[in-house]
Amino acid sequence: MAGVPTPGLDLIKTFEGLSLQAYPDPKTGNLPITIGWGSTRDRNGRPFQLGDRITRQEADDLLLAQAANDYLAPQRNIPGWNNLNENQQGAILSFAYNLGARFYGARGFETISRVLRNQEWHNIEAALILYRNPGTNVEEGLLRRRLSEANVFLAGTPGVALSTAGQRYLAGGRTPVPGSNLSREAQTYLANRPTVVTGGGSTGNSTPPAPGSRLLRLTNPLTSGEDVRQVQQALVRWGASITTDGLFGPATRQAVEQFQRSQNLVADGIVGPQTWAFLQRTPTPPTPPTPPPPPLNRLLSLTNPFTIGDDVRTAQRALAQAGIAVVSDGIFGPATDRAVRQFQSSRGLVADGIIGPQTWARLQNQLSTPPPAPTPPPPTPPAQSTPTHIRVLRLATPFTRGDDVRIVQQAIARSGIPVVADGVFGPATDRAVRQFQARRGLTVDGIVGSQTRRALGV
């Protein structure tokens, strides 16, 4: 169903598990009777009974319908929900599926509700892991789910990343500790985990938060302070011509808006956590050539438990460079399986989802060969108008489709921006076009007209 974020479905499937035969609730030993991907009622609202059976396709359809009808709709009450990207929405959908569709604003969910309401993305990891039922025999499983949700959320969040401790825990093994429900690795993570801090940020290994405890904007009287001066100094480093006097006046607001447009952010003139995170960055120098990946020492495929490791991460990076959207988290889950099959199909290989020597060799070529520079079109005489058969491409309803869309997507992917070349101009392509335009200093409107086409070389 339209609108259900795929990363959320992948997370739900990863942690709910699949049963095609109804079974009693593990906690109560009785009701509710569960089937499929953790569903307790059929599409007509009837509770399942012991002895009921369904097919895998029925389980997938039931999950999709329930996610759309019962779990996704309440999340639209979260302020700014429509501005969240698919990864961010998917992570919150998984959280809601596990802990209740109407968690936002409910008693016991004050911290995660505040973080979502204020868009404190530097606090999202620390907030999510609070909901892990500490001291119970399910704590480790919930900790891993919360961290996976945070990892997916932050994979789509500019300027913020999962803590080093969290990345190490997700990529590592599980060593049992006698007399404890937590593995040694979980205990190590919890000893070094980030914690929620109001106003500033979170402790631990997360990205430094915005200065002070407030949003900075143009007000009357003018907002002033050392945090304003820090913002102004950062704007000057990015090329703004303003005075670093600690007063947030019209010139500072204009500089903030110009900076936001250059980074493909919402140009509202307000310095919040996301804008501050971008201001802290510095322009990155050209990336040196990537050394060739190591030889493949094992077959990589979707297994239970999931295969993890640096070789998985290397394969994911190659898939992303090929223009296939996938998170490089070193975990071979359903999303990676789907990306591998898509890559194999596009290269004329057997689409079995297994990375063997032949698929690995194609992925090595993807990493070792830099994307070709776009070939500029031949010059057009000034008096000649644009041929009528070339369409202006943009996000529309229904979505625009065609080979010209696919050609644009392929050119964007060659520029280093991940996008699926499926010939459909959807929201992901719109975001990729805007990102490309921002990088090239073009007007960031998501429209592929003559100027953007020239920059793409198509």
pLDDT along the chain (458 residues), means of 10: 82 90 84 89 89 92 90 90 90 94 94 91 93 92 95 83 91 90 93 76 43 70 83 90 90 93 90 83 60 76 89 90 87 92 92 92 77 49 44 87 90 85 87 88 89 90
pLDDT at 75: 93
Cα 39 from chain centre: 26
pLDDT at 383: 38
pLDDT at 109: 95
**Integer Cα distance of 308 and 171 in angstroms:** 6
The yes-or-no answer on residue 257 being catalytic is no
- Take residue 78 and report the two structure tokens written for it: 């979260």
Q: What are phi and psi of 122, to 5 degrees?
A: -65, -15
pLDDT at 185: 94
Q: How far from each other are the two terminal CA atoms of the chain, in whole angstroms?
A: 33
pLDDT at 206: 43
Question: Which one of 16, 125, 149, 185 is the catalytic residue?
Answer: 16
pLDDT at 111: 93
pLDDT at 384: 38
pLDDT at 293: 60
pLDDT at 204: 46
Cβ–Cβ < 8 Å for 395, 425: yes
**Integer Cα distance of 363 and 228 in angstroms:** 47
